Amino acid sequence: MERKWWHDKVFYQIYPKSFYDSNGDGIGDLQGIIQKLDYLKDLGVDVLWLSPIYQSPLADQGYDISDYYAIDPRFGTMEDMDELIAEAKKRGMYLLMDLVVNHCSDEHPWFEAAKKDPDGPYGDFFYLADKKDGRPSNWRSCFGGSVWDPLPGTDKLYLHIFHRKQPDLNWENPRVRREIYKNINWWLEKGLGGFRIDAIINIKKPLPFCDYEPDRSDGLCSVSEMLKHAEGIGEFLGEMKRETFAKYDAFTVGEVFNIKEDEMRDFIGPDGYFSSMFDFNETIFGESPNGWYDMKKITGEDYKNCCFEAQERAEGIGFLSNIIENHDEPRGVSRYLPEGEHSPRAKKMLGGLNFLLKGLPFIYQGQEIGMENTVFSSIDVVDDISTLDQYQVALDAGLSPEEALKAVSAYSRDNARTPVQWDASPQAGFTSGTPWLSVNSNYREINVAAQEQDETSVLSFYKKLIALRKHPDYRDTFVYGRLIPCHREQKHLMAYYRKDAQNTLLVIGNYQNRPQEVTLENAPGTILLNNCERLAADGKTLFLEPYQFLVMTI
């Protein structure tokens, strides 16, 4: 396999609005990120992915861009951005921007021009239809309601897969594609390492538009239905790669849901459209067409099986990007560990099991200190548009307001968006002002400053984990070695080998709050990492403590 510069890197996602506020306006910003670069370097991360910081009305927190060439003043200036790129480079780190090109903002000049003259050239930048013919399809927007809405001041409708303030760009139009490629290259010229690519699977629509079988009483169907019928996305993605990323040897990771059975190689194989794509197999587990209130809770066994299934699918093809959380998901420790069992030891086990899977390890801000889901006192304190929609869906299905709040709280995107807990001072040291979203009330117990002083903290564990993954003796095994699941039938145990010609490493976690015995195939060699003080063993038999996690040679 041809080696790439990004194969052995450790990735970290920053959600700028909630990372660190440098000027007291309650909103995290670029100068805030610059101030924390040494913290990130010390943690051991190499590549930073920034959620969107472009000019935006922030209807969907920046995933609605009104100028692809400008920084939103709330985050800073283009000078700040150039400074951030330079400061990262000084430390040997790379920056990824978020590429949001399935849609733009309804405040983008292209959309303004389309409203003024829907039959002119900019009308063709979007998907428009004549109002008099009715809605061309019965698809439900990801944030609720029809994907079709009236184009203000005209006799047309326009399409939006996401919020009505996020009109879809018409990728069938070569002019649109040229504009997008021009922008990507402009950013790459600035010295970016690459991009995380938002919602990219949605750019190809099956045309002409048509209805599919409704899946709820609103008569609409999920967008995932139209994706099953869409053919030919590869032409767009291949062209984009040739015209942009390939010329710069840029790294790209796609936010790709719903690919078809046999498409993995096209997406992330050696000549794939992207360098990598996220493994969302755990994230989508238990999803229901009815909405969040009807999701099935994931257990440790399910988690294990989801990880291993994804690994099998990618084996011999390419590099998945592994996560336990991101800005669209609840906190991984709250989701993948049973309620009431969120001890630092259990958090380390979950982090360790995910981090050493084959693929690219991603950490989401705050994960390294074990940040947890927040508590919403009422629906009024929720900011996330997706949660607000899902709350309404739950009410419509007959849940009481209390039940609906409880149901959507578990999956709310705001869980991951509360400010990073830097220290025990007011507002968790995130801002000297009033944060745009309340800090989690547990910040006095869970914060960076306290954990930096504590050798046994979750943060210290993540540092050791990263250092282990980069250790010259083991790095190649973790990066290129095979992943072989073992003891798979043993319940509440997740274990796998990472194996190459040099090493066989065993990664093992007792995924429960009780002790467990396991008899290995070979006696343990050197213990490389342990989230407990000791290891009780007798020959090949290990007596694991609750949530004990180990990495060892074997």
Whether the Cβ atoms of residue 542 and residue 520 lie closer than 8 Å to each other:
yes
Place of tokens 């190689």: 265
Q: Which is nearer to ligand TEU, 8 or 328 (CB)?
A: 328
Name every residue whose Cβ is closer than 8 Å to that of residue 371 and which is 6 or more positions away in sequence: 331, 333, 418, 420, 421, 440, 446
Cβ-defined contacts of 391-397 (< 8 Å, 24+) = 392/144, 393/144, 393/290, 393/291, 393/292, 393/293, 394/291, 394/292, 394/293, 397/290, 397/291, 397/293, 397/294
- Binding flag, residue 142, ligand TEU (CB under 6 A): yes
87's contact among Ca ion, ligand TEU, none, with CB below 5 to 8 A by partner kind, is: none
- Binding flag, residue 27, Ca ion (CB under 5 A): yes
Selected catalytic residue, list 64, 255, 266, 279: 255
198's contact among Ca ion, ligand TEU, none, with CB below 5 to 8 A by partner kind, is: ligand TEU
Selected catalytic residue, list 21, 29, 198, 384: 198
Among 23, 288, 434, 456, binds Ca ion (CB under 5 A): 23
29's contact among Ca ion, ligand TEU, none, with CB below 5 to 8 A by partner kind, is: Ca ion
- Binding flag, residue 14, Ca ion (CB under 5 A): no
Backbone phi and psi for residue 281, each to the nearest 5 degrees, phi listed first: -60, -35
CB of residue 222 to Ca ion, shortest distance in Å: 37
CA distance 329 to 327: 6
Among 107, 124, 239, 328, binds ligand TEU (CB under 6 A): 328
What does the block give as tokens for 37?
A: 């670069």
Q: Which is nearer to ligand TEU, 248 or 257 (CB)?
A: 257
Place of tokens 């409704």: 214
CA distance 61 to 50: 12
As a whole number of Å, the CA-based R_g of the chain is 23
**363 DSSP β-pair partners:** 12
CA distance 439 to 421: 8
Q: Which is nearer to ligand TEU, 255 or 545 (CB)?
A: 255
Q: Which is nearer to ligand TEU, 46 or 198 (CB)?
A: 198
CA distance 346 to 324: 14
CA distance 312 to 102: 30
CA distance 149 to 130: 11
Nearest-CB residue for Ca ion: 29
- Binding flag, residue 328, Ca ion (CB under 5 A): no
CA distance 310 to 308: 5
- Binding flag, residue 80, Ca ion (CB under 5 A): no
CB of residue 267 to ligand TEU, shortest distance in Å: 15
Taking the alpha carbons at both ends of the chain, their separation in whole angstroms is 26
Q: Which is nearer to ligand TEU, 102 or 512 (CB)?
A: 102
60's contact among Ca ion, ligand TEU, none, with CB below 5 to 8 A by partner kind, is: ligand TEU
Mark 366-405 with x for binding to ligand TEU (rule: CB under 6 A) and - for no binding: --------------------x-------------------
Enumerate residues 444-463 that contact Ca ion by CB under 5 A: none
**What is the DSSP code string of 485-501?**
E-STTSTTEEEEEEE-S
- Binding flag, residue 122, ligand TEU (CB under 6 A): no
CA distance 269 to 156: 41
Among 11, 127, 162, 336, binds ligand TEU (CB under 6 A): 162
* Secondary structure of residue 504 in the 3-state scheme: strand
Enumerate residues 331-370 that contact ligand TEU by CB under 6 A: none
- Binding flag, residue 25, Ca ion (CB under 5 A): yes
- Binding flag, residue 21, Ca ion (CB under 5 A): yes
Instruction: Report cis status (omega within 30 of 0) of the bond before 515.
Output: no
- Binding flag, residue 306, Ca ion (CB under 5 A): no
Residue 198 annotated in active site: yes
- Binding flag, residue 425, Ca ion (CB under 5 A): no
225's contact among ligand TEU, Ca ion, none, with CB below 5 to 8 A by partner kind, is: none
23's contact among Ca ion, ligand TEU, none, with CB below 5 to 8 A by partner kind, is: Ca ion
Mark 237-256 with x for binding to ligand TEU (rule: CB under 6 A) and - for no binding: ------------------x-
Place of tokens 């099986």: 305
What does the block give as tokens for 517?
A: 């015995």
Q: Which is nearer to Ca ion, 22 or 530 (CB)?
A: 22
- Binding flag, residue 107, ligand TEU (CB under 6 A): no
Would you tell me which residues interact with Ca ion (CB under 5 A)? 21, 23, 25, 27, 29
Catalytic residues: 198, 255
Would you tell me which residues interact with ligand TEU (CB under 6 A)? 60, 63, 100, 142, 162, 198-199, 255, 257, 327-328, 386
